[in-house]
Each structure stands twice: as C-alpha cells, then as structure tokens.
Amino acid sequence: MTAELGRPAIVAVVFDFDGTLVDSSAIKKNSFMHALGAGKTVDQDKCEQAYTAHGTINRIRLLALSFTDIYSRPPSPEEHEELVGAYTAYFRAHMDQVMLFPGLSEFYAKFGDRYQLMISSNAPRPEIAELCDKLNISQYFTRIYGHPVGKAEALLKILADLELTQDNVLYIGDRVEDGIVADSVGVAFFRLDPGFHSASTTEGILRSLSELADTITGLESGVQSL
C-alpha cells in the first residue's frame, strides 16, 4: 500500500495494547500461573509449556486450552469460570505494576491532530479502559476495542463505521500474530516491540514509538510502501 505525496492515506492508527503500548507481560504470566496453581497443585513445567504454546491469545481461550493440555480434558464450565476469575483477580490486584512504554505523549503531540489513534487488543475492554485511566492516556484514543470483540472484528468495524478503505488504516502490534490479523483484513501493519520481548530477531521490528513516528513521517514525506 502507498501513501500519496503530500496526502498520507492514513486516517486511523490502531494499536495493540499489551507489549505495544504497555508492558504487562510478567504480570499476565504470573496471573496465568496463579490461576492454574503452578508449582502447587499443578506441575510448574507443564504450566510453562502450556503458556509457551498458547500465551498470545486471550485469557479465556488460553486457560481452557492450557487446562486441556495439562489434564487431557477440557475444563468444566465451573472449572473454567474459576480459572478466569482467579486470573482476572490476580491481574487486577497487580495493575499498578503495568508500565507505559515511553513516547506516547510525544507521538500524540505529533500526530493526534492528523490521525485518529485507537486501541484493539485481546484483553477485556473494561480492563484496558481502566488501565488507560490509571496511566492517564485515555485522552489520546478515540476508540478502544477489547474482548469480546476480536482484533480483526475491531479493524473491520473501524473500516465500516468511518467509511474507510484499507489503506486508511495502519495497525501496530508487537507480535507476528498481529501482522496476520492485519493481513486478514487487508490493512497495513508495523511491528513495534518497545519491550524487546522479540529478542531473537530485529529485522522489520521497530523498537520505540519514536522510531514509529519517524517511519510514519517518512511515509508522509513522499510515496512509500506501507
């Protein structure tokens, strides 16, 4: 996709949340381990293996699939509800440990009057909104999407509601899976990992919101591929 000289095609910049704008990776893993009773009622290594296999999806599917891996059967509705409740309670009790990556206020100052900034994440929407309030960043975003609305569904809704074409939307996420979501909808994607969680490779990965801003500025200055 290309940006027209002097008239960038971008209208909406949509961010994943965890790992892209905030660092909550350790807290989420601890929430998972707590919910499953890792090292207490369940073998720690089995929990580690399950988290490695499924840790990129939302907690509802994550806990169901992980329980199935560990016990060779799906959880009952009551067991699943208890797992999700324990995960959520632990996470909410440790919300103050979530850290905002640097540079969002500067990014907003540069682009907030040109683009609509939004969030689309697998985390529950009320939780995202609460964290945004706690981190004093709610004012930067015109829309926030989260579970039960999936990432692809959110992008499609943005396109439809704002009557945009695919080249009007840029999705930003920290994982390969986020790029797959963007491809499925046909919107452009940049991979941003300010927390350096994707340390095995650096090719094609932006490492800061400042670097993302410079890349978008390059798009604005001429015709370049998104």
pLDDT (tens digit, 9 = 90+) per residue, 172-221? 999 999 999 999 999 999 999 998 776 656 678 999 999 999 999 988 77
How many Cα atoms are found within 13 Å in the side-chain-facing hemisphere of 146? 18
Between 121 and 6, name the one with better pLDDT: 121
Task: Please say if the pLDDT value at position 155 is more than 60.
Answer: yes
Please report, to the nearest 10 degrees, the dihedral formed by the alpha carbons of residues 149, 197, 139, 167 taken in order: -60
How far is the CA of 150 from the CAs of 84, 125, 136, 140, 158, in angstroms?
A: 18, 10, 25, 21, 12
Is the pLDDT confidence value at 222 over 90? no
Quick one: pLDDT at residue 195?
Answer: 83
Write down the architecture of domain 12-23+99-220 according to CATH: 3-Layer(aba) Sandwich (3.40)
Tell me the two tokens of residue 107: 């990014």
| Rounded mean pLDDT, 131-146 | 98
- Residue 11: what residue type? V
pLDDT digits (tens, 9 = 90+) for 83-135: 999 999 999 999 999 999 999 999 999 999 999 999 999 999 999 999 999 99
Distance CA 205, CA 183 (A): 17
Decide if pLDDT at 161 tops 70.
yes
pTM reported for the whole predicted model:
0.89
Any idea where the domains of the chain sit in the sequence? 12-23+99-220, 25-96
* List of residues 6+ apart from 44 with CB closer than 8 A: 33, 38
